[in-house]
Amino acid sequence: VRTFGRPRVVVSSCLGFEACRYNGVGLPDALVKRLEPFVDFVPVCPEVEIGLGIPRPTLRVLETGGGLRLVQPATARDLTEEMVAFGRAFLQRVGPVDGFLLKSRSPSCGLHDVKVYAGAASPAPLRRASGFFAREVREAFPTKAAEDEGRGKNFAIREHFLTGLFASADLRGLVAKPSLDALVRFHSTYKLVLMAYSQKGMRLLGRIVAHTDGRPAAALVEEYALHFHEALQRAPRCTSHVNVLQHAFGYFKEELSPREKQHFLRTLDKYRDAKVPLSVPLALVRAWVERFETAYLADQVYFEPYPDALLEITDSGKGRDL
Ligand code: SF4
């Protein structure tokens, strides 16, 4: 049975922790609720932290000759410096973090899709950008899992986000108690995850584990951690998952009947053609891992990268791919 580290996640307070939005309400979020038993949340409301009240006049991101600015049109206050200074100070003192779940489209918290206007009264946005607190998050923690709550409704995005959170928490456990044995074990159990995410990263990490050159375990683990986070930065493509599943399928070729094999290959085609989600071929392989007691595959994080209780079948309908 896989044991999970407990990710520490910075979250926008309005997503179910405080009624701190500009209009004095909160916005409870289903993913936050489901995650609650498995993660330690660190809620923060950057706008309240810089001294804006609840309720408060809304903020806007403006395009100016001097770059993007965060302003409050109703009071003509420019809050750019305050927000940047708060973001930097908060992120410096926040301690170990495995990821960020932030409110979408907010001029402070939104990681994507924040409207940028030409002026305080312009009706239509010029373009989209990140919010000001979110920009500091990206700057301070470029390799950590970070998502807007809205995008978390998409299956592939959520899968990537949750995998990153729990992998980072596992890795923190290794960094806290570094040993060569633990590093070898970690790398071995993450083999298929790395194969799906980045073959190049997998090879690089394999070399770190194999060629220790007598270096202390703590230094090796530190180098490994750096490259591990980099390897997991971009979500795997569908074709990468197909490769991993075919690789795993190879372990059962002798045991399976021709009909079972055909059924699996047809399922894989359906996944490739976006007719079924990844969980469908994955469930077949997981069942065979149990049935044939394939020790190497049973240890692979790939088959349960985060607690099964976090799986859900609903999707935003925005498609499987990022
Ligand atoms: S989006 Fe961010 S700044 Fe706005 S209310 Fe939520 S936590 Fe506060």
pLDDT, one tens digit per residue, over 14-58 is 999 999 999 999 999 999 999 999 999 999 999 999 999 999 999
Positive or negative, the CA dihedral 276, 278, 283, 289 is: positive
pLDDT tens-place string over residues 3-18: 999 999 999 999 999 9
- To test the pocket of ligand 1, the residue of 9, 14, 72 to mutate (highest count of ligand atoms within 8 Å of its CB) is 14
Q: What share of the chain is helix, strand, coil (3-state, %, to 5)?
A: 50, 10, 40
The pLDDT value given to residue 321: 47
Residue 109 Cα to ligand 1 midpoint, Å, equals 6
pLDDT of res. 320: 44
Which mutation among 108, 112, 135, 137 tests ligand 1's pocket best, with the greatest number of atoms within 8 A of CB?
A: 108
| Out of 7-16, 31-40, 94-103, 275-284, least confident range | 275-284
Check pLDDT > 70 for residue 85.
Answer: yes
Give the per-residue pLDDT at 319: 44
Is the predicted pLDDT of residue 213 greater than 90, yes or no? no
Three-state SS string across 63-120, please? Answer: EECCEEEEEECCCCEECHHHHHHHHHHHHHHCCCCCEEEECCCCCCCCCCCEEEECCC
Distances (CA, A) of 193 to 88, 155, 311: 32, 17, 17
CA 103–ligand 1 middle distance (angstroms):
7
Query: Minimal CA–CA distance to 281: which of 233, 320, 230, 226?
Result: 320
Which atom of ligand 1 is closest in space to residue 46's alpha carbon? 3
Sheet with strand 40-44: strands edge to edge: 40-44, 8-12, 99-102, 145-148
Query: Cα separation of 20 and 54, whole Å?
Result: 6
